[in-house]
């Protein structure tokens, strides 16, 4: 081997060592909880400290909001003013997100649900309508399963019933061992923004605050927040059917993460009879951000009439609406 070959091999070895060291350092990073909002406060709990926002009349029926993967409480900001008029609204940064603590472990769906339950117990919240967006949808279902007295009904917003969702090529690369830690270390705001675009309908402008939300995460909290094992072993629809609690599933018609929102809504309705399903035109994976008024109205209507008989009637009307919406999309 010539001199240039030896240099090349040496450089490769050095690079491999540096990548390995970076993976160890990046993977071991933790961060304490911090207040990131003027209306936020930190609850020190057994499983970690969570940032919460508690708004609206304290004696009103409660609505709990659980955000998506890489998100934070501010993904609900456009909806909360509508919800808090007649409801106590509690929004929570899940462990590893927003202003909540970022420890080395504790990110399973079940652990997240138990921690949220502990936070709600501290706040004196019971019999709540629990609303979960994407990752938060899986946590909401786990909460209903494990703490049935806390949840009187569940709203799922753009959460796949089972299996993995397609977050895009860039996100897939960041989950690759060693390479993922390296990409995390050198990521730019531009790359983060591009990665977040799949969470909305094409052309939606990603707010700067959402880029900052992802920047607050550690690699461990990012890499560990995965609902596929929980929903893959037993679908969310099947789990909700077993709880016997009312379920509303909302999805954006312009989904870029879930392949076919129509088919996914049909799956929920099939596996959990009585489920109310709603498709929101013009919204992608995040109708709570893109169409806050319409999304809030659906949640409020659901919270007001959470009885099996009423929901059954509503489901039939909703399915008819889905068929009409689908026809409109096929024949613009």
Query: Phi/psi at 251 (nearest 5 deg)?
Result: -140, 150
Q: In this structure, what token pair is assigned to residue 163?
A: 């299996």
| Rg from Cα positions in the chain | 21
Residues in the chain: 332
Q: Of 175, 168, 43, 154, which is closest to residue 98 (Cα–Cα)? A: 43
Query: Phi/psi at 105 (nearest 5 deg)?
Result: -150, 180
Q: Of 57, 47, 37, 203, which is closest to residue 139 (Cα–Cα)? A: 47
Reduced to 3 states (helix: H, G, I; strand: E, B; else coil), residue 71 is coil
What does the pLDDT profile of the chain (332 residues) look like in tens digits? 566 554 544 444 444 443 354 454 455 688 999 999 999 999 999 999 999 999 999 999 999 999 999 999 999 999 999 999 999 999 999 999 999 999 999 999 999 999 999 999 999 999 999 999 999 999 999 999 999 999 999 999 999 998 666 666 666 666 676 666 677 667 889 989 998 999 999 999 999 999 999 999 999 999 887 777 888 789 999 999 999 999 999 999 999 999 999 999 999 999 999 999 999 999 999 999 999 999 999 999 999 976 444 444 444 444 444 444 444 334 33
Reduced to 3 states (helix: H, G, I; strand: E, B; else coil), residue 153 is strand
Alpha helices in 101-197 (DSSP H): 109-123, 135-146, 169-174, 179-186, 189-196
Q: What is the pTM of this model?
A: 0.83
């Amino acid at each position: 081997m010539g001199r240039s070959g030896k240099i090349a091999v040496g450089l490769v070895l050095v690079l491999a060592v540096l990548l390995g060291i970076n993976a160890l350092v990046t993977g071991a990073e933790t961060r304490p909880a911090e207040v990131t909002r003027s209306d936020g406060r930190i609850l020190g709990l057994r499983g970690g400290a969570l940032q919460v926002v508690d708004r609206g009349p304290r004696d009103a029926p409660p609505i709990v909001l659980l955000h998506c993967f890489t998100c934070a409480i501010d993904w609900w900001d456009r909806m909360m003013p509508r919800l808090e008029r007649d409801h106590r609204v509690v929004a929570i940064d899940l462990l590893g997100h927003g202003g909540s603590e970022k420890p080395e472990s504790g990110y399973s769906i079940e652990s997240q649900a138990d921690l949220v339950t502990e936070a709600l117990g501290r706040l004196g919240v019971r019999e709540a309508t629990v609303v979960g967006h994407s990752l938060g949808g899986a946590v909401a279902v786990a909460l209903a399963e494990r703490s049935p007295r806390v949840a009187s009904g569940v709203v799922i917003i753009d959460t796949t019933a089972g299996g993995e969702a397609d977050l895009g090529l860039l996100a897939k690369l960041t989950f690759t061992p060693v390479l993922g830690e390296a990409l995390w270390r050198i990521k730019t705001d531009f790359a983060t923004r591009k990665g977040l675009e799949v969470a909305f309908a094409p052309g939606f402008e990603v707010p700067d605050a959402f880029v900052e939300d992802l920047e607050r995460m550690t690699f461990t909290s990012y890499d560990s927040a995965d609902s596929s094992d929980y929903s893959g072993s037993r679908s969310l629809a099947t789990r909700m059917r077993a709880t016997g609690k009312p379920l509303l599933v909302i999805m954006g018609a312009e989904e870029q993460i879930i392949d076919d929102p129509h088919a996914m809504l049909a799956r929920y309705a099939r596996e959990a009879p009585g489920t109310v399903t709603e498709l929101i035109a013009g919204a992608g994976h995040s109708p709570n951000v893109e169409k806050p008024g319409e999304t809030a109205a659906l949640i409020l209507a659901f919270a007001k009439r959470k009885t099996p008989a009423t929901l059954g009637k509503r489901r039939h009307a909703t399915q008819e609406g889905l068929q009409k919406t689908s026809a409109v999309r096929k024949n613009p």
